[in-house]
Structures are given as structure tokens and as C-alpha cells.
């Protein structure tokens, strides 16, 4: 499969066309007049790939093809000729020719399967549109005439071809392979070779349809930036869904009772606190705070990713100067990516807790450009992780082994940028399941009932502007009519104390 999603193709195919000239109404004959012809057809096209699934792509192509065709049908009866048996005339030889050169635009659609690096298989169809059709059929014939003076006569001429077909197209099924050897890279250009085979039909004229078979080869040309630094894609963490159950009919753990505030005689202003649940007033002045502990599990991705051509740990990975700075309680279940960025510290902490466990660091690279066959880069990536665990977490180096590879054993598609970014990694493996098990996070979920309180402010003084402080939040009001003015402010307790 192509390493880019787009490019151009230069092709050349050997084309063979066949057909029976008795299809023409101008060639009435009971004996078949099968004709054939061969030609070489160069073509130029552009392609674009759309990813459907892993290693499977839909490739669309549009281009133009030079289509020279010449189909000839001949019949020779000279072996049957006997002048003593000829009464009037005898046809010795007859030849029909249908010929035209044209430029045909075409469109192709193929499914491309790329099971291994540098090699892909494709199958699909191609539809070419004939820009013109031959108007005539040329013919030549030789006859023997037996009259007063026996003689041979050769004549030539043209017959009508039936005109242009209402669907002037050629339709073919195409199958082939594409090989992109790594040594065919020239700076910003990479080449691929694609031999293919096709078969189908061509509506050459309104009365003549030929069968076509073609063998061809294409050279794929597409841009490639070998030295461009690639930012690794976000690590492919599993999707985690918060499935916390909503507590039902649980007894209150804490209880807070609210009462209307007594009016202040000196200012004649006062505040009522009204509980509200789901938009409705609650008669009870009590507010319940329900707390419950939940145990959540976040899967731990055992890959550490690197920038293109680099062995330096990405700054997004949390790197400590001292292991005492690590606090597992700070990991947040609702932020799985934050858990992942602590992978080195989680592994170091677990190795300390499991003194007999060992790990194996498999250094890998994307095997393209400057990373091609660069096992030294794979080694440096694994060693940097090992040095961090030894320096910060005091892990015995004998408990850490290093293995080197180019592409990972289970590599991502190397023919797209995202796949290359995922292959630039170090895989962490262990002989103990406790080292790579999901991260367990204990959280407390708080729910208020009722969920909202309404602060009802009644102003009976001449004060025009006022502010109301509720914990760390300040509400501002304006009393435009200083006689019985009432303002209200709703506070969502679940959001406020989150």
C-alpha cells in the first residue's frame, strides 16, 4: 500500500481486442469474421486512498489513456480455389479493418489490502469513456472472375460502422499487486511498482462491441518527507465509560437542616433558603449529603511512544526527580490520559511493591526514513526508560532486560503516518501480571438531595445595590424599586461542591 494517501501513476499496458465483424449490419455473412488486434496504451492517472479498516483501503483513480486500436479480420479461401469448377466468380481473400486512435479519460475504483509492509493486493473495476468512434470499416477483397477472359481483381472500399454507441465506454475488471521497495526512495519522492491484469469489453461503435484483455505495469510516484519530524499521535487508550450507578433510596450520611433566616430589624432585609429538587419546591427544610466510595479500574497501556528519529522521553510523560513526589491518590479516574502519562512511575512503584517481578523493554522503530533498520535508535529508547526506573525508583538493573526490533511484533499499519507514529515505541512486558494490571482508583461520589437551593432575597430598605456572599461565590443585586423588592439566586449544590 502507498505510504501516502495520494500520488500519481505512470502506466503502460499491452492491450488485445477481439470481436466478430458480423455484428455490423453492413457485413451480412453466415460465416464468422472474428478479428483481433494488439496495441500498447500509455496512461497517466492520479490516485487517492481512503482507509476503511485496518490494512484495508478504498483507492479511487482518475486519469487519461492513449487508446490506439486496430482490429483486423481476414478470410482466405485460396486453398479451395479450383478454376475448373468456378462458374462465375470465386472469392479468394477478404479483409476487414476497424481502426482509430483516441485519448480516453477513465475512472477506477479498487479495494486495496496491505497485509504486510511494502506489499499490497488490489481488485476493482475501471471505466473508460471513448472520446470518439470510427465512422467506417475499411475492407479489401480479391476475386477470380471466369468470363471470356479469366482474371483476378482486387478491390477496396469502406462500409458504415453504425455510428457512435449511446454508451461509448470500456469496462474492465482489474486485479494486481503493488510493491514499494524501500530502496526506491529519492529525497522527497518514493516509487512503487504495480503489475496488473484486466479483462472486459469495449463499445467501439453502435454495432460493434469487442472483448478486451490487458497486461500492464504502473510506476507509482508520490511525495514523501523522510526527514520531517513527526509528532506522535495520542496513545490509543481504550475508551473508558463512566458507569457510576446513581444511588437510589440510600440513607443520608450527613444531614444539614436549613431554616429561613430571621429578618434583620435594623435593615428590614432578609434571606430565605428554599430547597428545590428537579425544579420543584421541597416542603422539607432539610438537605441531605450522600457520600459513597467507588472503586474504578483504568486499563494501563504498556507502550511508551517517541517522536520521529528521537530517543528522548516526551515531556508529557511525568518524570520525577524523587520517587517521594509520586502520589497514586492524585490519579483521576475521569482523566485516563493523565493516568497513562504516569506509566513510568506506576511501573516503578509496582516493581518496588513486587520485588521478584522482572520486566522486558522491547525497543522498536517505524523502519522508515532515518529510522529504517536503525536498531541503535531502538536501543537508546529502551535504555532511557531503564535508566529512569533505576535512577528514580532504585530498581535493580538485573530485573530489566532489553530486546531490540525494527517494527513491533504487532505493528500498526506502516503505510500511513498514524501507523508509523504508533510504531515508534517501547513495549513494556513483565513476567508478573501485577505490573501491568489495570490501575485501581478509589473515589468518593457526593450527591445532594435536594440538588438545588434558592436564595430568596427580600429588600424592604432604601438600599439600591447589594451583594450576597455564599461561600466563595458573590451574587450582586440591584434594587430599582426600594419597596418590597425580591431577588432570587439558584445554587446547584452538586456543581458548587464538586
Please report the pLDDT score of residue 281 as a whole number: 59
Phi, psi of 388 (to 5 degrees): -65, -45
pLDDT above 70: residue 27: yes
Q: Report the chain's mean pLDDT, rounded to a whole number.
A: 78
CA 207 to chain centre: 45
Strand ranges in 146-301 using DSSP code E only, listed in sequence order: 151-160, 169-179, 185-186, 189-205, 208-223, 254-257, 270-277, 280-281, 286-298
pLDDT above 50: residue 253: no
Name which of 84-88, 113-117, 302-306, 425-429 the model is least confident about.
Answer: 84-88
Q: Report the 10 Å Cβ neighbour count for 477.
A: 16
- CA atoms 317, 323, 328, 330: torsion sign: negative
pLDDT above 90: residue 77: no
Please report the pLDDT score of residue 254 as a whole number: 44
* pLDDT tens digits, one per residue of 146-174: 776 777 788 888 888 778 888 888 899 99
Q: Give dist(CA 96, CA 20) in Å, integer.
A: 11
Pairing mode of beta strands 439-449, 400-404: unpaired
Q: Give dist(CA 257, CA 146) in Å, integer.
A: 130
Q: Give dist(CA 389, CA 313) in Å, integer.
A: 13
Please report the pLDDT score of residue 267 as a whole number: 47
Please report the pLDDT score of residue 463 as a whole number: 58
Mean pLDDT over 438-445 rounds to 77
The residue written with cell numbers 484486466 in the block is 198
Q: Could you give the 3-state DSSP secondary structure of residue 142?
A: strand
Residue 344 banded pLDDT, cuts 50, 70, 90: very high
Residue 7 banded pLDDT, cuts 50, 70, 90: confident
Grid cell of 381 as nine digits: 529508547
Please report the pLDDT score of residue 228 as a whole number: 39
Highest mean pLDDT among 285-299, 334-348, 393-407: 393-407
pLDDT above 50: residue 382: yes
* pLDDT tens digits, one per residue of 468-497: 666 656 666 655 555 555 566 677 776 666
Please report the pLDDT score of residue 131 as a whole number: 81
Contact 91, 141 (CB under 8 A): yes
Residue among 219, 217, 226, 215 at smallest CA distance from 192: 219
Superfamily of structural domain 304-422? OmpA-like domain (3.30.1330.60)
Please report the pLDDT score of residue 158 as a whole number: 83
* pLDDT tens digits, one per residue of 284-336: 556 667 776 767 788 889 999 999 999 999 999 999 988 888 887 777 766 78
Residue 357 banded pLDDT, cuts 50, 70, 90: very high
- For the chain, what percent of residues have pLDDT higher than 90? 28
Please report the pLDDT score of residue 395 as a whole number: 94
- For the chain, what percent of residues have pLDDT higher than 70? 72
C-alpha dist (Å) from residue 75 to 140, 178, 216: 11, 42, 31
Q: Comparing 199 with 255, which gets the higher pLDDT? A: 199
Segments making up each domain of the chain, as ranges: 6-223, 254-294+451-496, 304-422
- CA atoms 392, 346, 382, 182: torsion sign: negative
* pLDDT tens digits, one per residue of 204-246: 888 888 899 998 998 888 775 433 343 444 444 333 333 333 4
Amino acid at each position: 500500500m502507498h505510504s501516502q494517501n495520494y500520488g500519481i501513476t505512470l502506466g503502460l499496458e499491452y492491450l488485445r481486442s477481439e470481436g466478430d465483424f458480423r455484428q455490423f449490419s453492413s457485413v451480412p455473412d453466415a460465416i464468422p469474421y472474428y478479428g483481433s488486434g494488439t496495441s500498447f496504451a500509455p496512461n497517466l492517472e492520479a490516485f487517492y486512498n481512503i482507509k476503511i479498516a485496518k490494512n484495508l483501503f478504498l483507492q479511487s483513480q482518475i486519469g487519461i489513456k492513449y487508446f490506439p486500436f486496430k482490429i483486423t479480420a481476414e478470410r482466405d479461401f485460396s486453398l479451395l480455389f479450383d478454376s475448373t469448377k468456378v462458374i462465375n466468380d470465386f472469392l479468394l481473400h477478404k479483409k476487414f479493418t476497424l481502426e482509430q486512435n483516441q485519448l480516453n479519460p477513465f475512472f477506477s475504483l479498487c479495494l486495496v489490502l496491505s497485509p504486510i509492509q511494502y506489499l499490497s493486493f488490489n481488485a476493482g473495476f475501471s471505466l473508460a469513456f471513448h472520446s470518439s468512434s470510427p465512422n467506417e470499416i475499411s475492407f479489401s477483397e480479391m476475386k477470380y472472375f471466369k468470363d471470356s477472359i479469366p482474371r483476378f481483381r482486387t478491390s477496396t472500399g469502406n462500409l458504415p460502422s453504425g455510428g457512435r454507441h449511446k454508451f461509448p465506454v470500456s469496462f474492465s475488471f482489474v486485479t494486481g499487486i503493488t510493491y514499494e521497495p524501500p530502496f526506491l526512495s529519492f529525497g522527497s519522492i518514493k516509487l512503487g511498482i504495480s503489475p496488473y491484469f484486466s479483462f472486459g469489453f469495449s463499445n467501439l461503435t453502435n454495432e460493434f462491441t469487442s472483448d478486451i484483455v490487458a497486461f500492464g505495469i504502473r510506476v507509482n510516484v508520490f511525495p514523501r518527507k523522510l526527514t520531517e519530524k513527526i509528532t506522535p499521535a495520542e496513545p490509543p487508550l481504550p475508551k473508558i465509560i463512566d458507569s457510576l450507578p446513581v444511588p437510589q433510596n440510600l440513607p443520608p450520611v450527613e444531614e444539614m437542616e436549613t431554616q429561613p433566616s430571621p429578618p434583620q430589624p435594623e435593615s428590614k432585609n432578609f434571606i430565605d433558603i428554599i430547597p428545590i429538587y428537579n425544579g420543584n419546591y421541597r416542603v422539607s427544610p432539610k438537605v441531605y449529603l450522600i457520600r459513597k466510595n467507588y472503586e474504578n479500574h483504568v486499563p494501563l497501556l504498556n507502550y511508551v511512544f517517541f517522536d520521529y528519529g528521537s530517543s528522548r522521553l516526551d515531556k508529557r510523560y511525568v518524570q520525577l526527580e524523587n520517587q517521594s513526589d509520586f502520589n497514586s491518590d492524585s490519579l483521576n479516574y475521569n482523566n485516563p490520559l493523565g493516568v497513562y502519562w504516569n506509566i513510568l512511575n506506576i511501573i516503578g512503584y509496582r516493581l518496588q511493591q513486587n520485588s521478584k517481578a522482572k520486566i522486558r523493554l522491547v525497543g522498536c522503530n517505524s523502519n522508515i526514513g532515518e529510522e529504517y533498520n536503525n536498531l541503535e535508535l531502538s536501543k537508546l529508547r529502551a535504555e532511557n526508560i531503564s535508566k529512569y526506573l533505576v535512577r528514580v525508583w532504585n530498581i535493580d538493573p538485573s530485573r530489566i532486560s532489553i530486546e531490540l526490533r525494527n517494527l513491533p511484533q504487532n505493528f500498526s499499519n506502516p503505510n500511513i503516518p498514524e501507523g508509523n507514529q504508533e510504531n515508534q515505541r517501547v513495549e513494556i512486558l513483565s513476567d508478573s501480571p501485577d505490573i501491568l494490571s489495570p490501575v485501581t482508583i478509589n473515589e468518593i461520589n457526593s450527591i445532594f438531595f435536594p440538588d438545588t437551593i434558592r436564595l430568596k432575597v427580600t429588600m424592604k430598605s432604601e438600599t439600591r445595590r447589594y451583594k450576597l456572599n455564599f461561600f466563595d461565590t458573590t451574587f450582586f443585586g440591584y434594587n430599582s424599586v426600594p419597596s418590597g423588592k425580591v431577588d432570587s439566586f439558584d445554587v446547584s449544590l452538586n456543581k458548587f461542591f464538586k
